[in-house]
Structure 1
Amino acid sequence: MKNLIAPEIDAYAEAHSTQESDVCRRLREETYRSVELPQMVVGPLEGAFLKMMTQVVSAKRVLEIGTFTGYSALCFAEALPAEGQVITCDIDPETSEFAQKFWDQSTMGRKIHAHVAPALETMKQLSGHFDVIFIDADKINYVNYYQRGLELLAATGIMLIDNVLWNGDVILHPPLDNSTGAIQELNRVVAADPRVTSVLVTIRDGVLVVRRAG
């Protein structure tokens, strides 16, 4: 992943934000030591942002699309009240097992419930509403995740969609590949959707923050 913000500025922002928990730090460090494509882990600055957004809407239920090694799910769990719940979806049993190992080391891990299956299948089976929905999975399905996610989003909830700058490649036309094109389409769909208001925040690789209009 390219550094869209100067590394020293990113480090300054991280140093002056709420610090990650010890379990999150160990999880992140082990991800970089032993997992392929470790840069996919959310990391301390974005993790602090996710926790803040969770607390701002007084969330009790979180839906996460894309678990990877479990860093963001644990961030959400740490931000939720005692009765809170995180449902997280991923198709990779190995990284899901890795995540569970670290969740088990935290008293907050009991709030997390993992579904190892295609996320759209899991989303079809879910009922009720979620206060926070975080999308950070395969980019080809981003519009599908967004549309189903909006059906599951609470009236006062917030949706957070990661990697919407895609290393800066979203400004290139024509798109370099299908994933880039899918992210460009997602950004267009959300910007034109009268049901929502949104802001694209240039933290890390870009996070699109979406709420229901009105």
Structure 2
Amino acid sequence: MSYFDEQLPEMDRYLEQHASSEPEILKSLRKETYQKTTQPHMISGYQQGRFLTIISKILRPEKILEIGTFTGYATLCLAEGLPKGGVITTLDINEELAYLPKKYFAESEFSQQIDFRIQDAKDFLKETNETFDLVFIDADKENYVEYFHSIKPKLKSGSVVMFDNVLWYGKVLQENPKQKSTQVIRQLNELIAADEDFENLILPLRDGVNLLRKI
């Protein structure tokens, strides 16, 4: 039994055993994330990582935007679908942890296609004129609604957006949540469902992924 198998519930272990294999570089990154960070559960991990890769490979996006790099696991998964000349821009504000994703980005076959920036995503979205084919948002939950409004003009028909943690450990079922992050995630899910410019589905993958397609 491996290092990770010991930490998986039975169903998760079954799901991983019946999914495509995880590249060795991601296996090493996942292990180091658990060894060297205080909140390793923030990593996308095996199941979600393979999901991100499949979505990216289906779309073959020229431009990907990721808000919330953490240790770079999801970045490398998304990069697997980049065509030659494609670029993924990934944003984070944690300078102290930046050494870890930088290390693995440099070692990966996608090193020349990853634009890693220590920058506030709100500032980036105000400044950029780029449009994106694929966007993955897994950052500060209290800004999710602002990210949604800011990213919408940066999309074209067929662009795909994914918001992570939209079930928020089941807290979205609370009728009058006191926690700000829960309130914002509930608001986000309601905004997306009511927006006629998108078609969407919330997938109960890990802590929930809201998958949107711009019409």
TM-score bracket, normalised by the shorter chain, equals over 0.9
Correspondence list, 1:25-36, <5 A: 25-36=27-38
Which one has more relative contact order, counting CA pairs under 8 Å at least 6 apart? 1
Partner of residue 20, structure 1? 22
Please give the alpha-carbon distance, in whole angstroms, between the structure 2 residues aligned to 1:66 and 1:179: 16
Matched letter for residue 92 of structure 1: N
Describe how 1:24-103 pairs up with structure 2 within 5 A.
24-103=26-105
- The answer (yes or no) to whether the contact 1:42–1:72 under 8 Å persists in 2 is yes
Larger deviation, residues 87-96 vs 197-206: 87-96
Q: Which residue of 1 aligns with 2:111?
A: 109
Aligned partner of 2:4 in structure 1 is none
Structure 1 residue 79: Cα displacement: 2.0
SS of corresponding position for 1:53: helix
Match of 1:52, SS state, is helix
Cα distance, 1:11 vs structure 2 = 1.8
Instruction: Give the corresponding residue for 2:206.
Output: 204
Once the two structures are TM-superposed, the CA of residue 174 in structure 1 deviates from its matched residue by 1.2
- Per-residue deviation at 1:66? 0.4
Q: Give the secondary-structure state (helix, strand or coil) at the position aligned to 2:160.
A: strand
The percent identity for this pair of structures is 37
Which range moved further: 38-47 or 151-160? 151-160
Residue number in structure 1 paired with 2:128: 126
| Residue number in structure 1 paired with 2:190 | 188
Q: Output the TM-score relative to the length of structure 2.
A: 0.93
Tell me how large the CA RMSD over aligned residues is.
1.3
Q: Distance in 2 between matches of 1:105 and 1:57?
A: 25
Does structure 1 conserve the Cα–Cα contact (< 8 Å) formed by 2:56 and 2:79? no
Q: Which amino acid aligns with 2:52?
A: L
Conserved? CA contact 1:74–1:109, under 8 Å? no
Q: Distance in 2 between matches of 1:96 and 1:111?
A: 17
* 1:112-191 alignment, distance < 5 Å: 112-191=114-193
| Distance in 1 (alpha carbons) for counterparts of 2:158 and 2:71 | 29
1:12-68 Cα shifts (integer Å, max 9, x gaps):
222212222111111110000011111000001101101111122221210000001
Letter of the 1:134 counterpart: F
Q: In the alignment, is the contact (CA less than 8 A) between 1:170 and 1:184 conserved in 2?
A: yes
Separation in 2, partners of 1:160, 1:144:
15
Output the CA distance in 2 between the equivalents of 1:68 and 1:102. Answer: 12
1 CA distance for matches of 2:84 and 2:21?
Answer: 21
Cα deviation code 1:122-174 (max 9, x no counterpart): 11122221110001000011011111111112321100100000111110121
- Asked if the contact 1:160–1:207 (Cα under 8 Å) also holds between the matched residues in 2, the reply is yes
| Unaligned stretches of 5+ residues in structure 2 | 1-7
- More displaced, 89-98 or 7-16? 7-16
Specify the alignment match of 2:5 in structure 1: none
